Structure 1
């Protein structure tokens, strides 16, 4: 505690947790989100053929988590669109990313040093959204721990969870890319973060919310910046998850031995037996006798 008091970490965490996200952090969030949209197959083509569809996809990338969380909590799903400033700011980013002359804006924000800064700022927003989602659900359902977890999880990774719907707007359908089946690092981290914030909200975690927001944000920003810089698609949770899954759910090899494993392929039909020399000679003799008749 003496060290914390000397460094004033408690005051720093409180200030950080109350720091306004608009406009700097939200702007970074919109830029990175729409930048990832442009990486998606067919996104550029859609922006040329149907700007309306492209704009809707961009809005889903920016506000999909709010829309999905509102649906879960029984609120009007377009409620967030009353914030005209946020919508106009996201629209301006969408236009610059897809339609800026000579692609200058895209080249600037995709420049790795700038992109790393923007990615770090986006993770600040993600952590704050998870905490806000859990807090919002706690007010509506005081003892609904699972509702708090789900709401925080959706607030942190709602864009990925509705990615299949967004793909339909782009004319793409890839059900195998379902985020529940193939969870990325931000989606997993959002789930784990929602659990931590729920425990804190229920006073089962002996740490203040401001400190938890600060620590979780630092972890998310550091991990995502490192993964972006190294172009890695791995996960810091991989080692722990592999051990836990092996302990609780069995290994992949064990899973293939149960009755849910796919049935073995049917054996190939046996080839007709090779005829002996005597059988071939007998067949030749019979054909000759028939011709003579």
Structure 2
């Protein structure tokens, strides 16, 4: 059996199991909502949990509908689908003794749910791409983004709701990042668009099989604590080339593992720069030191571990206190 036959069989299986994989989609999404919700508050706020579950389950369809000029609530017009989602919501949030929620914590059961979720993700990306091409036939970018929204729109809605409730600050903004699944959805959305344009020399069903295989492996691995990002090295190279903070023409300095200064002269300015490593181990990130060196009688040696020569200001004599503040500029 060749790859084409396997791809065709996979696509037929996804169509045949449409209802089952839709339930898997609702289950995994609402399970994530339940994990982010306080148990006691959830039992006191059933309407809020139901509305949040609807927003996350149908968020992608709502975003796409708005973008292509259709009513936002069209995804909710299928009464059978909404009823099915409501039944799943009740079992995950309010089943007696949390039996369903605890069952989903069992790894084999979660793997089956993840497989169903990745099956329906292929249909959601394809639907987003086709709706985008119907509304914006000349824009590859918009069609690709709409395909991504079809697969991950619920996550965007969930994160948007979280940021609305939080205060915007440095720590909040630092938490913004694209998940690996979102990056992969964007990639496969692009591949579907290229295939529809006749640029990609493989069949549509082959792209479906490739997406299902790759995304299931990565999603299943994350459930076992193995996080793998295939874009990490590419992003690192692009960031190094286009987003590095070391500007052209900047004076080159050589890193010194340890610089030892004995008896610095008061009133004299010394020059140094601090170079550090980020969380990925990249060196050359210039930082501003907030260290304060205290000078005692008969000033002790001043050590600059892992620093380069930069600006060090020592105050003039005149302050006869036992300790004088030495600041970095």
TM-score range, shorter chain: 0.7 to 0.9
Deviations 1:33-80 (A, max 9, x none): 11111111x343432221111101111221111111112222111101
Q: Does 1:37 align with 2:83?
A: no
**C-alpha separation in 2, matches of 1:242 and 1:73:** 35
Q: Could you tell me which residue of structure 1 aligns to residue 153 of structure 2?
A: 158
Kindly state the Cα deviation for residue 263 of structure 1 after the two structures are TM-superposed: 7.0
* Higher RCO (C-alpha 8 Å, min separation 6): 1
Q: Could you tell me which residue of structure 1 aligns to residue 188 of structure 2?
A: 193
Give the length in aligned residue pairs.
Answer: 263
Structure 1 pair 130–179 and aligned structure 2 pair: CA distance change class (3 A): farther
Match of 2:320 among 274, 287, 291: 274
Q: Could you tell me which residue of structure 1 aligns to residue 257 of structure 2?
A: none
Deviations 1:198-239 (A, max 9, x none): 2112211111111111111111111111221x2134423222
Kindly state the Cα deviation for residue 247 of structure 1 after the two structures are TM-superposed: 3.2
**C-alpha separation in 2, matches of 1:44 and 1:112:** 22
**C-alpha separation in 2, matches of 1:151 and 1:122:** 19
Q: Could you tell me which residue of structure 1 aligns to residue 112 of structure 2?
A: 117
**C-alpha separation in 2, matches of 1:202 and 1:68:** 24
Q: Could you tell me which residue of structure 1 aligns to residue 268 of structure 2?
A: none
Q: Could you tell me which residue of structure 2 aligns to residue 211 of structure 1?
A: 206
| Contact map agreement 1:57 1:166 (CA 8 A) in 2 | no
**C-alpha separation in 2, matches of 1:62 and 1:231:** 24
Structure 1 pair 182–72 and aligned structure 2 pair: CA distance change class (3 A): same
| Contact map agreement 2:18 2:120 (CA 8 A) in 1 | no
Q: Could you tell me which residue of structure 2 aligns to residue 235 of structure 1?
A: 229
Q: Which deviates more, 103-112 or 17-26?
A: 17-26
**C-alpha separation in 1, matches of 2:236 and 2:230:** 11
Q: How does 1:58-207 map to 2 (within 5 A)?
A: 58-167=53-162, 181-207=176-202
**C-alpha separation in 2, matches of 1:53 and 1:263:** 45
**C-alpha separation in 1, matches of 2:68 and 2:75:** 13
Kindly state the Cα deviation for residue 22 of structure 1 after the two structures are TM-superposed: 2.5
Structure 1 pair 70–13 and aligned structure 2 pair: CA distance change class (3 A): same
Q: Could you tell me which residue of structure 2 aligns to residue 51 of structure 1?
A: 46
Kindly state the Cα deviation for residue 173 of structure 1 after the two structures are TM-superposed: 6.0
| Contact map agreement 1:167 1:173 (CA 8 A) in 2 | no
Deviations 1:92-117 (A, max 9, x none): 11100111001111111221111011
SS of corresponding position for 2:211: helix
User: RMSD over aligned Cα, in angstroms?
Assistant: 3.0
TM-score for both structures, normalised by structure 1: 0.79
TM-score for both structures, normalised by structure 2: 0.71
> Could you say which structure has the higher strand fraction?
2
